[in-house]
């Protein structure tokens, strides 16, 4: 008997290490744990046992879920950074390859459609061979970008459903990336979320002189962009407030709150209506 694995309650000890014991323990086989816990004087009776078990399993599952999901949010961070790198590189190389093609082709245009066409041409000279091959790589980068975007669109709503419903998957991923993870985003005050991505402007302001930034990356959201410049500050503040709430719900409880999107829409409509008033 004594060489058997201990039950979770024996590992837990007296002082509330129940959740850790549930998460870290193991045993070769199940045993009559409730009866054993009573016999060994860990608890007074089985109903007290089940109360402790409930507390320990709920806490353990809550912790384990948060940990596993925050590991997933790091995948989102990498994906959106890769997306931005692909986009930037594809743009740079589009300029380079179309500029080069322009020495051979009077109709050269600086866009990805033209690059794809270049890639599909049969080269007739060594220069065309180089240009065509480079164009092929640019097109492939553009495909990769689309793939990364699809991955983000699929995973962001799983990792942060409320945030994704309010901000869209890509902006969600950017906010999570700028904060360094969903948990740190959830811990940021709304004023910080409002200017995430505008750090340079913020430091310029803090050093003195410059105006404080009204918004960071949330500028790309329709609620800010679609609002007249004089009300953008209010719109950005309202949006950041809702996004902060969404991030907290996503991190701490994960339940879906569809009413947040309706709330936001109503707020923004009221702000935008100030124009006509």
**Residues of the shown chain interacting with another protein in the complex, contacts defined by CB under 8 A:** 5-8, 11, 21-22, 25-34, 50-51, 53-54, 57-58, 60-62, 64-65, 68-69, 72, 158, 253-255
Picking from 86, 101, 88, 104, the residue whose alpha carbon sits closest to that of residue 135 is 101
- Rounded to the nearest whole angstrom, what is the least distance from the CB of residue 35 to another protein in the complex? 8
Nearer to another protein, 205 or 248 (CB): 248
Angle formed by the axes of helices 112-120 and 126-159, to 10°?
Answer: 130
Copy the structure tokens of residue 272.
């935008």
Angle at 248 between CA 85 and CA 169, to 5 degrees: 35
Picking from 262, 272, 277, the residue whose alpha carbon sits closest to that of residue 227 is 272
CB 251 within 8 A of CB 188: no
Nearer to another protein, 138 or 182 (CB): 182
Dihedral angle, C-alpha 52, 58, 64, 68, nearest 10 °: 170
- Rounded to the nearest whole angstrom, what is the least distance from the CB of residue 273 to another protein in the complex? 35
Please list, in sequence order, all residues whose beta carbon lies within 8 angstroms of the beta carbon of residue 234, skipping any fewer than 6 positions away. Answer: 227, 271
Nearer to another protein, 54 or 78 (CB): 54
- Rounded to the nearest whole angstrom, what is the least distance from the CB of residue 72 to another protein in the complex? 7
Please give the Cα distance from 203 to 146 (Å, whole number): 34
Nearer to another protein, 44 or 67 (CB): 67
- Rounded to the nearest whole angstrom, what is the least distance from the CB of residue 105 to another protein in the complex? 48
- Rounded to the nearest whole angstrom, what is the least distance from the CB of residue 66 to another protein in the complex? 8
Nearer to another protein, 66 or 202 (CB): 66
């Amino acid at each position: 008997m004594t060489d058997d694995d201990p039950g979770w309650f024996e590992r837990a000890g007296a002082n509330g290490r129940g959740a850790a014991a549930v998460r870290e323990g193991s045993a070769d086989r199940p045993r009559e744990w409730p009866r054993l816990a009573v016999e060994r004087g860990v608890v007074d009776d089985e109903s007290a046992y089940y109360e402790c078990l409930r507390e320990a399993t709920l806490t353990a599952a809550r912790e384990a879920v948060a940990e596993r999901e925050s590991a997933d949010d790091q995948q989102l961070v990498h994906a959106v950074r890769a997306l931005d790198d692909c986009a930037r590189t594809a743009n740079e190389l589009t300029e380079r390859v179309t500029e080069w093609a322009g020495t051979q082709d009077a109709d050269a245009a600086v866009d990805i459609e033209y690059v794809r066409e270049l890639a599909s041409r049969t080269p007739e000279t060594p220069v065309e061979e180089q240009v065509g091959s480079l164009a092929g790589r640019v097109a492939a980068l553009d495909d990769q970008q689309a793939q990364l975007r699809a991955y983000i669109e699929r995973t962001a709503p799983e990792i942060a459903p409320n945030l994704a419903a309010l901000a869209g998957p890509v902006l969600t991923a950017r906010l999570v990336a700028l904060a360094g993870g969903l948990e740190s985003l959830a811990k940021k005050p709304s004023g910080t979320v409002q200017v995430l991505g505008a750090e340079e402007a913020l430091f310029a302001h803090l050093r003195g002189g410059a105006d404080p930034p009204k918004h960071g990356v949330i500028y790309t959201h329709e609620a800010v962009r679609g609002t007249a410049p004089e009300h953008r500050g209010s719109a950005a503040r309202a949006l950041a407030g809702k996004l902060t709430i969404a991030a907290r719900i996503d991190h701490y409880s994960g339940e879906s709150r569809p009413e947040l999107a309706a709330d936001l829409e109503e707020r923004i409509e009221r702000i935008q209506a100030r124009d006509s008033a």
